[in-house]
Each structure stands twice: as C-alpha cells, then as structure tokens.
Structure 1
Amino acid sequence: MADDFPPMTSIKRWLVTTNHKDVGILYLATALFFLLFGGILALLFRVQLWSSGGVILSDSAFNQSVTTHGLLMVFWFLSPFAAGFANYFVPLQIGAKDLAFPRLNALSYWFYLFSGLLIGISFFQGGTFEGGWTMYAPLNVPMYTGMEAATGGNTAILALTLFTISITLGTMNFLTTIHRSRAEGMGLWNMPLFTWSWLLTVWMMLFAFAALLAALLLLATDRILLTQYFATDQGSSLLWAHIFWFFGHPEVYIVFFPALGIMFETFQTFTGRRLVGRKWVIIAMVLVAVQSFLVWMHHMYLTTINLEIKTLFMATTIGISLPFDLMVFALIYTMVKGRVRFTTPFLFSLGALVLFILGGITGVFLGAVVLDYEFRGTYWVVAHFHYVMVSGVTALIAGLYYWWPKITGKMYSEALGKLNFAVYFVGFNLLYFPMFLAWETPRRVFHYQEGMEIWHQMATVGAFVFGLSFLIMFYTLGKSLVSGPDAPDNPWQYARTAEWAIPSPPPLENWSGRPSYASGRLEFVDETPAAAPATDGGSPASDGGALTTADAVHGTLDQAHGHGHEEEHADHASIWPFGIGIGMFVFLLGVSGLTPSVAALAEWLDPEWAAEAGISGSVDYLYPAITLAGLAILAYVLFEFGREQFNAPEMAVAERWPFEGVGNTKLGVWFFLASDVVVFGAFIGAYVFMRIYAGWDTWGPVPDHTWAGLLNTYILLTSSFTVILALVMAERGNKKGLIATLGATLLLGLSFMGVKAWEWYDKFLQGDFWFSGLEYSLYYVTTGLHGVHVLLGLFIAVFMLYRIFTIDAYLEDSRPVEFFGLYWHFVDIVWVFLFPLFYLM
C-alpha cells in the first residue's frame, strides 16, 4: 500500500490519508485557520468596544461575534491544535508506527473540519447562535431568542455536537494506543512528559466531553423538536449549569495540559537537564485530572445552591491549585539548576509560565465565594480566563517552533522568532491586563460606565498588536518553508525523546526497525531472522530514563535509517472517512432547518398548546430533503467503510500494562461504552433532577401500560442470551447456528422497537406528545435515545448477517461478534435502569 500512496503534493493524499503524521498536519493547519477566523471576530468586537455603545456592529452581530469567537477558540482552535501535535508525536514518542485505529483517526479529523464548516455556514442562516459560549439556559432556546434565527443557532449547536463526536473518536484511539502500543521496555512512568500530559488529557476528555454531548443532545431536542428541558422555569437553568460545568471545568485542564507537557519538554531540552521532581509532577497532574471533576460548582456560586455546598466547592477549588504549585516550582527549579538557552521555543514556554502564574492567582480570587459574588460576570473573569487559556496558546506556539524542524525538515530564523515572541508578549499583556483594571465592565456588553474607556482602548490597541504577532509567526514559518536551511535530525542539543532519533521529516513508516527500551536505552531492533538485535551503548532513553546527551540521540540514527523486515504491512489510505464526514455534514445541515416544520407539526397536533407557547411554523421541504440525502450518503459510505479491507496491525512486541489481555478493538469498545455511560448518566440524571425539582409526586409513570415495559425488558434480556449463543456458534465455526442466533437477536430487537412504537402511538392518540409537558419530554427523549442505540445495534446486526452470508465472516475470527455483544449487553443494561424509572415510579 505504501508504494501506491499518493505523494504529499497530491490533493488525493490529504483526502485519503490515515497516517498519523498527515492527520497531525491537517489538524495543525485547520486549527490555525480557525485561529484566524476567531481572531478576526475578536478584532471586530474590540473595535466595537473602543467607545461605550460603539456603532460598528449591531446588538445581534456583537453577540454573535463574541459567542462564536469563544466557541471557535475554546473548541475549534485550542484542543485541535494540541491534538495535531499529539497525532504527530505521541506515536513517535512511544515507539508506535501509527495510532491503533488509523481510519477512525482520519474520521475524527473530518468530523472536526466539517463541524467547523457548519459553524461558518450558520452565519448565513439568519444569524448564528448568540447566547454566549457557555450557552446558558433559558437563553439557549428559540422560545427566548426568537424563531427567526433558530436555524443558524441550530447549526451552531449541531456543529458543536459533531465536534464532540470527533473528540470522542480521537479519545478512544489515543487511550487504546498509549495503553497498548508502547515500545518494549517503556513503562508508564518512563513515557515522555508530553505523552503523559496527553494521556491524562484524553482520560479527562473521555468523560467530560460525554457530559457535553449529553447537554448538546438535550439542547438540540429543545431547539429542533420543541421539547422542554431548558424552556421551563422548573430548574432548567440549574440543570444546564450542572451538566455544562461538569464538562466546563475539566475543559480548562484539557486545554492546558498539552501546553504544560510542551513546557516540560522544552524546559528539559533548553536547560539541558531532566525535570526536577519528575515523578511528583506526574502524580500532581494525575491529582489535577481527578480533582477537575470535583470543582464544577464553583462556577455556580450565584445560584440558589446552599452555602454549605458552596463552601465545600471553595475548598476543592483551593485544593486543585496546590498540585499546580508543585508543577510551577518544578519548572522554576529546573530552570535555576540548568543551563538556559533562550531559543524561540524556550522564550514562548517561559512566557507561558509567567502568564499562567498571573492567571492562576487571579483565579483563586474567583474561587472564594465572597469575592466571586463581586467579580462574577465582569471583565475580571474575562481577563483571568484569557490569562489561563491563552497562556496555554503561548506554550502551544512554543511547541510549533520546537517541532517545526522535525515536521518540515526546515529551520527558521531565530531573529524573527524572537521578534515574534517580543511582539506577542507585549500584545498579550496590553490586550488582557487592562481588563483587570476595567473589571467593573459587565462581560458580553459593549456599553460601559464612564472612566473605563482608557482601559478598553488600551485593550483594543493590544488586540491589534497581538494579531500582528501572529502575522509575524506566519511570515517566519512561511519563509522557513520556502527558503529555510535544511534541519538536522536533531537541531536541539539536549532533545531526548524518540522523535529526534529519526530523520526530519520522519519517513512514512516511522521506523524501519522495532524501537525497544528493553536495555534501558533506545535501540532499533532489526527483526529479520538472520539479524541479531542491534545495540549501541550510546542510544538514548526516553525522557524518563537516565541518558540525556545529544551524542546518545545521534548514536541511534544509523540504526533508524537502516532496513528492517515488516511481516505485516500497514495500510495508509481510505477514502471512506472523508465520505462519512460529508454524509454527516449534509445530514446535520438538513436537521438544522427542521424546526419550522416540527413547529407546524406541533401546531397541527396540538393547536391549544402551540398558541399558548407562541409556536408556529410552516412546512419547508428543502431541509427535510437535505436530511434524507445525508442519510442516504451515510448509509452508502458506512456500508463501504465496513466492507473495506484495511490492515492496521497490532505491535507484536509492546508494553501493554494494565491491558495485556485485552485486544485493541475490544479495549476501544470498552472506552466507547465508558463514554456512553456518562451520556446516559446525564440523561437519567436530568430526569431525576427535574422530577425532584418539580416535586417527585407531581407526576407518576408516564407510560400507561406497565406490561409493555415489562414485556420489552423480557425481550431485551432474551436478546442478550441469543447474542451469547451467537458468540458460541461463531467460536465453533457453525455458520447455520450463527445465522440463526444472530437472526433471533435481530428479530427480538425489532420486536422491542415494535412494542415501543405501539406505546408511543398510544400516547399520541391520547394527545400526549413530546412537547406537551416536561414529564413527556423527559420520557420521550430518554427512551428515544435508548431506541436510537437499539436501532444502531440492529443496523450492525443486519450488516453482520450480510457478511456471514457473502463471505462466511466471523467463523475463523469470532471477535467481532463478541464486540457487538458487548454493545448489545450495554444497551440492555441501560433499559434495566429505564424500566423502573419510567414505568414503576
């Protein structure tokens, strides 16, 4: 496959590639585009703020610019930019040839790109979402913002939903790869610190983004299907705040941890010494990752939560700052005890440290209940937030300069790089520090009191200086790419991680031999039968090992450039991830415009409710047609994706603790299910929260027929048994038995959906629709999400039966049947929880 792989100068290469380095470059380039997009919006509203009540933008345009700027920077720039580095360098640092699931890696990128295109299109659909990047209820639903701008707002919400799905795919991929594809001898403790920071980042992503996905799905049903999660006064704003900030606070560390990893790497390289207190730093990062899920309510001090709970969360907020103190002091002591070389990457890393310290200290102010009462909703929060988040950007730019020679094979001008840093640092502080002084200005408002004008004008000037620094950066890197001198394999004297032991840029397959740390040093083992394992006393360890000299890195180069034997050749190309991205793009674009048609349906079904709610609409056939077209495209490309023969071999020799006995695909399924537990947990938690808030006895079981729920419980439990029988038949190579048992599972699943359809139809005949009241919204949406999971399982079962009939699949390798069974059992277990909640209580 490598021989037929298109060259990097071909457009086809970038449409079909699944290679982790290519995907990393795509992430980096696309994230920089969204940086420009969000930056231009920022300059627009900074001009608006030159004077109180500025006239450049209308009220709505200002709100759209501020909201989209926040969404783009937090979601479409920061995390994907870090993901670009992770895609490119994590496999190199741990000694892998690629990620565990290359096609899913490409799919994750295409979902990211198309989600960004959706948010761009939303501006042209009557206006995009304008309720702030935190999307607080009830201002996040059309009932309060107006139906005329619903379509653009829907598109923005669906774009973020697709982005969240992209993150979930990437998270599963990286967790599986890092836990099961580390080079021989590389234990977790020995991993490079950037890889460590990314491992903890994706662990946080697995659960945090699942909570955000649940919140967005609930919001999408409110906006498109007119359900009532966030359109009522029955605790809707508190429900949104709980789910959103359960994601939102870990997101701060999700954004900052990769930047922190880059700071660790660059401080080690440019001080010429190992990070002081390395193991304690790792422990501190683990503590922060765990604690990040225990502090979300400090964003909710102004709500009706009682003082005891607020005090508890004030303590957890102070507690989470302590591990950061350790990390900051570790960086300072490393610098003090080393020989600092003030290169461009180190200057940006040092600048990031200085800015983060200021951002962290001002954040502790907000962690105190009394001070938060004063500062919440003001420019103090805006300034603090940017000093933390954009200090992370500063470190990411350090990473761009640090790894640029490795990615491109070209060096850049140090003089231009240092000029870039100087303009950046001045612009940053001129932009954000005056916001502390103008703290009494309400955030997201362009009218401010007399006396604040000078600070806002300084900030606006700073914004343009800050923007200029990025133009200098693009010029510096562009000049390097066009006419820069060739980069050596290791341009930094004390760089010690494995990516510096191979050519710049790295070859397609990364390594010609197998990387190994079995001896405590990096070796490239020639796996040809006639060759003995290659050794070299001058080979480097990972950055957790003992070796630190540049000679050690260069000692591996001859072996890295040698020729090894690969028994199982990996594929690098597939067009179907791109096709699935197009299908999802078209489908979600169609769904975004369904609100008027759904409103017309609601008005027809229940005119009295529609009149009372002020809901009216007319049937528009364009968006339903686009939706159906998207579904048709998805059906075709998913089918071809499933049929494609794609080889992504597991490493024959690797460190796999603590998952030695679990294969890559099975582990990936487990990670997916762990994420789905959080999604269903949020849906069920929303039901419990809203019912308690409204008064548990305000309504009883919504379904009228308990026997229908009980029957469906028996049906699903029986289907779990038939799935187990299907696995037994596959293991025995019994084709007829496998078809019979998998077919029985399919029929039982269809029976479940039939009973559920009858149950819903019976409720409709009684005039109880999904929009008729909060209790009906909770019932239809929660059981509907479960029904979608059942439906997906049925599609998979049909596809598996097709494969069995056509190519006798799963008779020699029964694992796919086992993986399907894991998913099906999970769906059944969820129903065991839903049945008593909705049918008995």
Structure 2
Amino acid sequence: MSDETKRTDGGEATAAGELPAADEHAMPGLGTIERWVTTTNHKDVGILYIVTSLFFLLFGGVLALLIRLQMWVPGGLLLDGLSYNQTVSTHGLIMVFWFLSPFAFGFANYIVPLQIGAKDLAFPRLNALSYWLYLFSGVLLMISFFQGATFSGGWTMYAPLNIPVYTPQIGASMAVLALLMFTASVTVGGVNFITTIHRMRAKGLTMWKMPLFTWSILLTVWMMLFAFAALLAALVILSADRLLGTTYFAATGAGGSLLWAHLFWFFGHPEVYIVFFPALGAMAEIFQTFTGRRLVGRKYFIGAMLLVAIQSFAVWMHHMFLTAINLQIKTLFMATTIGISLPFDLMVFALIYTMLKGKIRFKTPFLFAFGALVLFILGGITGVFLGAVVLDYELRGTYWVVAHFHYVMVGGVTGLIGGIYYWYPKITGKMYDEFLGKVQFVMYFVGFNLVYFPMFVVWETPRRVFDYPVEFIPWHRAATVGAFLLGTSFLVMLYNFYQSYFTGEDAADSPWAYATTAEWAVPSPPPLENFPGIPSYLKGKLSFHDSPADLAAADGGATADGGVVVYDDAHDHGHEEHEDHTSIWPFATGIASLVLLVGLSGLTGGSYPEGMTGSVYIAFTVAGTAFLLYTLTKMTAEQFTGPTMEFAERWPFEGVSNMKTGMWVFLASDVVLFGAFIGSYVFIRVAEGWTTWHHLIPEEHVTMPGLINTYLLLTSSFAVVLALVAAERGSQRGVIAGLVTTVLLGLGFLANKALEWNHLFHVHSEAFPNGWEISTNVASSTFYLTTGLHGAHVIVGLIIATYMIWRARNGAYVNGDEAPLEHFGLYWHLVDIVWLFLFPLFYIL
C-alpha cells in the first residue's frame, strides 16, 4: 500500500512504506534466458504459467475458429472427417487441460504466497518442475500432430474409440502420453500448494481468516489431488492398452467402455469445479475491492465451497444416464446433482448481496467478474436440465450440452480475465489502459453470447458432427461471427497488456482504493523475498518483524513446531543462510521426460512418420530414460536451501515437517491411484462373471510365488524400521545394514516376480497354447498391469534406497538427521500395504 492503512482479511494492515531492496542472491537478470530457465521463485513461475497458458489459449482458440468455419454450411467447409475430429478433440483437450487450470495456477503461484505471508512455496524446485512438465506436455501434444495424426476420439476419449483399433496413429498415443505427463505436473503442484497453505501461513492468519482466493486454491488442489489420481489411473491403463496390448478398454472387453466412463467422470466432474473455483475466488476478491465492503456471509461462502468440493465426487454418474445403469442408481445421482446446486445458490446470493450493500466502481476487473457471475448463472440453470434423467435422455449428445458446458467453463475464464486485470498492476508495476479494458469487455461479452446462446436454440444439432438441418444455418453463422468477435477481444487484451508494460503509468503499491489482502501491502512488483520482514497478524493487523526472536516476543514467547527456539547472534542480526532461487535440474528433468515419452509413443510399431523408424523411437526411449535418471539424481544431490518459517499457522499439521506433510499428501494421491486400479479389476471381473473369471487363468498361476513375495516385502518393511531405529541411536553401520537388507529383499521380490511372469508367459496348455501373456485376455491384462504398477513402485523405492545407502556411507541420517529415512519408510510401507491387498485378489480369490 502507499501511505494509507488498509484492512486485510486478517485484520488491519499497516502502511508498507519503502521496502529495502531484496538481496538478488544467485538470481540472473530478468532479461536473460538463464533467469527463466533456472528460476524457482514463485513469482517467476507464476508469470511463466500465465504466459504459457495464454499461448495455449491462442492455440486452442485457432482450433475453435476452424470448428466454427467448418460449421458455416451443413456438411462442412474446410476439413475432412479425420481433420475435423482431430480439431474438435485437441481443442477440448487444450482448453480444459493446458489453458484453464494452468491460467488459474499462474495467479495462484504469484499471489497465494503473498496473501498468506510466505516467502515462496514449500518446495520451490518442485514448483519449477511442475511448470516444466506442464510446458513440455503441451509441446508433446503439439508434436503429436506430426506423428500421422493426433488423437481424434473426442476430448473425453471414450472407449472403445481410444484404443488403437479406432485411433491407430502414433500421434494418438503421443497425445495420451502428453496428458499423462500433464497429470504428473498437476500432482507435483498439488502436493506443493497443500503443504504451503497448511503449514506456511503467517502467525495469526488462521484458516477462517485466509483470503478467499487462497481458500479457493486450497480447495481446488485438494480436489485435484484425488480427481487427477483417478485420471492418472485411467491414462496409465489406456497407455498400456495402446502400447503394451492390454485389453481393458477393448470393444469386446467386458464392461470396458463403462469402466472408462467411470474412471474419467470420477475425475471429470470435479474438474468442472477445479476449473471454476479459482475464478470464484478471484471474483470474490474483486467484488470486495470494487464494492468497498467485506463479502456478505463470508463464512457461509467458505462453507458452501467446502460442501461443493466434497459433493463433487458424488455426482459423476449423471454423465452416464444413457448407459445401462439401473434406474435406482440414476435417481440417486440425479438427487446428488440437484443437491450440489444448492451451495452454489448461496455463493451467488452472497455476491449479489455484496453488490447491493456496497458502492460499485465499474472498473474493468469488476466488469469481467460481474459478467462471469451472469454467465455462470445461465450455465448453472441449463445444467440443472441435464441433471434430470428424463431430460438428459433428450439433450445428451446435442448442442445443448456444448452451450451449457461453455457457459460454465468459459464463464470461469471470464472471472480469471477479471483476475488478470485486477493483479496486472501488482505483477508488472504498470497500470493497464482502462478504456481498452472496457472495449475488450464489451467485445468479449457480446461475442461470447453470440457464439454460445444460439446453440441453445439449435440444440438438436448433433454434438461433434458438422452436418445439420439447413434451417439452422442462420444460427450457426451467427455463432461463427460471435466466435471471431470473441477471439478478437483477446487480441485487444494482449495489445493492452503489451503496450501498458512498456508505456503505461506506474502502478502504486495498491492502485485499488479498497483492496484488502496482503499482496497490496508490498511494492508493485514485489521484491524477490516478498516482505521487508516477517509478516504477522498476531495483533489483528498485518505487521512486520525484524527477526524470529522479535516475533516470538510479540507472541508471548511462542514456540516453533512444539519446541522452544534458540537463536544465535548471527540469526538475531539477520545473517541467516540465504534461500536459493535457481536450479537447472527441473528444466532438465522436463526435457528428459519429453524425450522419454516421444520414444515410448512409437514402440508399438505401425505407420511411422517420414524419417522415423522403430529404432529411432527405441533410441529416444533409452536416451530419455538414462537422462531422466541422471537429472533426478543431480536434483536430489543438489545443495538447495528452500524457504523456512520458524513461526507459522500450521493447522492441521502442527509438529510435522514440510517434507513429511508433502509425503503424506503424495501418498494420499497414490492410494487413490492404486484404489482406481483395484476398483477397475473388481469392476471388470464382476462384469465378466466373478466365478467364471477362473477359466481365464491357467492352473499354473499358483499361490506360492505371491506368498513368498508377501513375506519378502513384510520383512523388508521391518528392515526399514530397524534402519530408522539405528539412525536415532547414531549407528551408521546399523543404518547401512538396514537399508542394504531392504534392497536385497526388494531385489528378491522382483526376481521372484520375474521368474513367476516368465513361467506364466511360457505356459503351454490346451486353453493357452501361446502362453499367458499380457494381451492373452482381460484377466492376464489386469494381473500383469496391476502387479506391474506395484513392481514399478518397488523399483522406484529400490533406486531411492540405493541412493540413501551411498549417502549413509558418507555419514548421513545420523546425529538428528534421520527424517529422510522416516519419509522413505512411509513410502515403502505403503508399497507393502498395497501388496497385502493385491495378494488375496490375484492369488487367492
């Protein structure tokens, strides 16, 4: 803020004044490529996310314009059938995955640490890694266009259209792998945000006092953690179907198409709220700022978001009303679908009453936030139609769904555009052109309704088909004109931002008269370390302290994480070790992942693009694997100092380190991944017939190998516990012995598994004359893929344990440094617990 005092969501904010120049420790200049390739600072990563997502907006927007041009006349104008299917499919994939969520998380990266009083996210290098995986997954998708053809089975990738029989191109497999890589990016980012928001809030900033945008991001990443784990399971299975020959989703498989629908929509419906929640948080902040009053019913608003986040996982089956699911279950999911609209009613009325009780300032951010509210109301009302089983039978697969979907999803985009205008002065230090902002809003709002509202009128047009009755021509042409007007509005926005960055008026610390959150209490743009001291809300207002000792005194002798903190003279005088802000290894890991997945996409053979052969893809796979292991090893071994907060609000993870919290969160996601695999096995087996399933399995598939592996894994878990006990007692030899025993037992598990698989591969009987291989039948597919996923977890654990043995030989993990052993133990114990579920399922039942 400038000279006046502003209230924050946590109380009163003190005047910011002039902040001292930040120490640009080990940071290249902003104008250098090195800065952007090596940065781990949350503000830089946020800018990278925003810029990259805007590129994908233009990419997906061009595809949208091709769709609308194709619809100018019935039967199409420009594209053949395959080209149109590729255009529709990749437009949906790009907009849903590579634009909407990353655009929101650009703001989240930049703003959330500032709002909660943190110097950075908990794991800065993982934050950078998340971005590079996101970027290179998009690059992989673009490469897929040049690999015969990209995926053409619709953005929902329904089975059996997603298997090679119907989409045989290498580019289609590459698109699936690109989405899998994007999902890995989301998981890494989600763990980071959950750990940061729960454990790195300024003292006094309790959960209920958190700004609404931070609340929306917290709930979004929790939904992402579980929803994307289900999608990851679906994509791993689909990749196996395409690359390894498994038969989960084959057209003749038992329940394959329905299984994909369950897995995809268990992710897909929470994804609607994952996309909309950040926009809702931005809208709430904007409404408060430009009405000059606190949000009406703020706690009820937060409670409503919590309800929606939980309920979002209980409505997925309304996307499956046209399947053979019985009427009772359909009725239940119709009720949950209608029920989830009720918390949204509360949120909508809270925003409306805030406007009524405040004094509105019609600046560009507010115009877009208000426009988003109007569009979302229309989208929500039309969605209720689809929630009714009877109406869904009539409307499903028509342009009614297309229109409703865009009113909701692009309605969220509208709120985020308000967000980029709102935070543009903070991010750049420049004011945008208000006149051009309002011009863009008019073009955007008119163009949006012109392109999507006619789709409700011509709802009988079949979805994803470019033929329609001639009487619909005027409406479709109006929609095409609207699409070009909508697209042009984004060019106005980009010109506004570009011109303002170089010639715009300098922005004040807080250019908005009634901005209330902590990011407005620092200069525009903020310094590298964010704050002039340690932020605190202990006295009901934002204040800064020179050292942790000062903060402890202000808090009446507070303790950090349950223990008394003792500070030496160097710490008290501000000479603590500097945090690092650069690392090349996240970028290198992203490159390695790209090379590996390019190679994997072509391993199955088929029609290779010109200049490419099977040996080229094999070379990419080998090089990518080696490079990935190298970069991960270098990143792990790199000396990197991340942000620390001796004093912070940490509910509900008091007394738990950031690393342990992050490990717990990651393992929660892994539980959903394995749960989806086990659920898929049970679903397919029930569809096939629980007892007749045994006819698909050779008699040579006996219990003993699984029983031996059970004993090996349980013993290895005990060895990890012994290593941890030895570390706590300061015994280096004990640590090494425990880890070596774990590795040997893990290798024994893998060797026994390899012998078992080799035996089953070469079974020769009347029922299985060619052996029992991964593609023999659906029983072999589920067995090899599920236990193979578990085996991959064992291999990862063994690689980590081997690295830890090397470190233990150099004296690590003793003298109070046993935490990494505990974190590894959590992972290894989960691997063992999962096997206790797999053993009875695949060897006894």
Same fold (TM over 0.5): yes
Matched, 1:63 2:56: no
Greater mean deviation of Cα atoms: 692-701 or 715-724: 692-701
Match of 2:633 among 639, 654, 666: 639
Distance 1:425 1:14 in 2: 35
Match of 1:665 among 652, 659, 662: 659
1:697, CA displacement in angstroms? 1.1
Match of 1:630 among 610, 624, 633: 624
1:762, CA displacement in angstroms? 0.1
Matched, 1:360 2:380: yes
Match of 1:179 among 198, 202, 220: 198
The answer to whether the 8 A contact 1:180-1:656 is kept is yes
1:565, CA displacement in angstroms? 2.7
Distance 2:82 2:815 in 1: 60
The answer to whether the 8 A contact 2:282-2:415 is kept is yes
Letter in 2 for 1:699: W
Aligned to 2:141: 119
Match of 2:589 among 564, 580, 602: 580
SS at match of 1:515: strand
Distance 1:418 1:488 in 2: 21
Distance 2:806 2:63 in 1: 50
Matched, 1:395 2:415: yes
1:511-522 to 2 correspondence within 5 Å? 511-522=531-542
Distance 2:706 2:493 in 1: 61
1:504, CA displacement in angstroms? 0.2
1:4, CA displacement in angstroms? 2.6
Aligned to 1:165: 184
Match of 2:838 among 823, 834, 840: 834
Letter in 1 for 2:249: F
Match of 2:761 among 764, 767, 786: 764
1:45, CA displacement in angstroms? 1.3
Distance 1:654 1:103 in 2: 22
Post-superposition Cα deviations, 1:179-225, rounded to whole Å, max 9, x if no partner, equal 00000000000000000010000010010000000000000000111
Q: Alignment identity in percent?
A: 66
Letter in 1 for 2:669: S
Aligned to 1:551: none
1:3, CA displacement in angstroms? 2.9
Match of 1:313 among 313, 330, 333: 333
SS at match of 2:166: helix
| 4+ runs deviating over 3 angstroms | 528-535, 806-812
1:530, CA displacement in angstroms? 8.5
Match of 1:377 among 364, 376, 397: 397
SS at match of 1:797: helix
Aligned to 1:191: 210
Post-superposition Cα deviations, 1:565-613, rounded to whole Å, max 9, x if no partner, equal 362421101100011101100000100011118x99xxxxxxxxxxxxx
1:391, CA displacement in angstroms? 0.5
Q: Which has the higher contact order (CA 8 A, sep 6+)?
A: 2
Aligned to 1:780: 784
Letter in 2 for 1:567: E
Aligned to 2:221: 202
The answer to whether the 8 A contact 1:230-1:236 is kept is yes
SS at match of 1:327: helix
1:21-170 to 2 correspondence within 5 Å? 21-145=43-167, 147=168, 149=169, 151-170=170-189
1:256-295 to 2 correspondence within 5 Å? 256-295=276-315
1:545-584 to 2 correspondence within 5 Å? 565=574, 567-584=576-593
Cα distance, 1:166–1:564 mapped onto 2, change above 3 Å: farther
Matched, 1:704 2:691: no
Letter in 2 for 1:168: T
**TM-score normalised per structure 2:** 0.92
1:564, CA displacement in angstroms? 8.4
The answer to whether the 8 A contact 1:523-1:534 is kept is no
SS at match of 1:451: helix
Match of 2:513 among 486, 493, 498: 493
Distance 1:649 1:326 in 2: 38
Match of 2:724 among 717, 722, 727: 727
Aligned to 1:330: 350
Aligned to 2:242: 223
Distance 1:639 1:61 in 2: 42
1:432-471 to 2 correspondence within 5 Å? 432-471=452-491
Aligned length: 793
Letter in 2 for 1:695: G
Letter in 2 for 1:119: L
1:413, CA displacement in angstroms? 1.1
Letter in 2 for 1:759: E
1:635, CA displacement in angstroms? 1.5
The answer to whether the 8 A contact 1:297-1:313 is kept is yes
The answer to whether the 8 A contact 1:409-1:505 is kept is yes
Distance 1:122 1:256 in 2: 29
The answer to whether the 8 A contact 2:732-2:811 is kept is no
1:450, CA displacement in angstroms? 2.3
Letter in 2 for 1:135: M
Distance 1:202 1:244 in 2: 18
Aligned to 1:608: none
Greater mean deviation of Cα atoms: 700-709 or 252-261: 700-709
Match of 2:366 among 321, 346, 350: 346
SS at match of 2:539: coil
The answer to whether the 8 A contact 1:513-1:564 is kept is no
Cα distance, 1:468–1:223 mapped onto 2, change above 3 Å: same
Distance 2:443 2:816 in 1: 63
Letter in 2 for 1:452: F
SS at match of 1:523: strand
Distance 2:50 2:173 in 1: 27
Cα distance, 1:311–1:124 mapped onto 2, change above 3 Å: same
The answer to whether the 8 A contact 2:26-2:580 is kept is no
1:2, CA displacement in angstroms? 3.4
Match of 2:269 among 224, 249, 252: 249
Distance 1:716 1:810 in 2: 25
1:661, CA displacement in angstroms? 1.6
Distance 1:619 1:408 in 2: 47
Letter in 2 for 1:358: L
Distance 1:656 1:473 in 2: 39
Distance 1:141 1:394 in 2: 36
The answer to whether the 8 A contact 2:145-2:171 is kept is yes
1:735, CA displacement in angstroms? 1.0
The answer to whether the 8 A contact 2:548-2:646 is kept is no
Aligned to 1:820: 824
1:40, CA displacement in angstroms? 0.4
1:233, CA displacement in angstroms? 3.6
1:529, CA displacement in angstroms? 6.4
Aligned to 2:810: 806
Distance 2:655 2:318 in 1: 41
SS at match of 1:506: coil
Letter in 2 for 1:12: E
Letter in 2 for 1:215: A
Distance 1:477 1:322 in 2: 38
Aligned to 1:549: none
Task: Extract unaligned runs of 5+ from structure 2.
Answer: 1-22, 556-571, 764-770
Letter in 2 for 1:316: T
**TM-score normalised per structure 1:** 0.93
1:532, CA displacement in angstroms? 10
1:636, CA displacement in angstroms? 1.1
Letter in 2 for 1:411: M
1:804, CA displacement in angstroms? 1.6
The answer to whether the 8 A contact 1:726-1:742 is kept is yes
Letter in 1 for 2:598: L
Aligned to 2:19: none
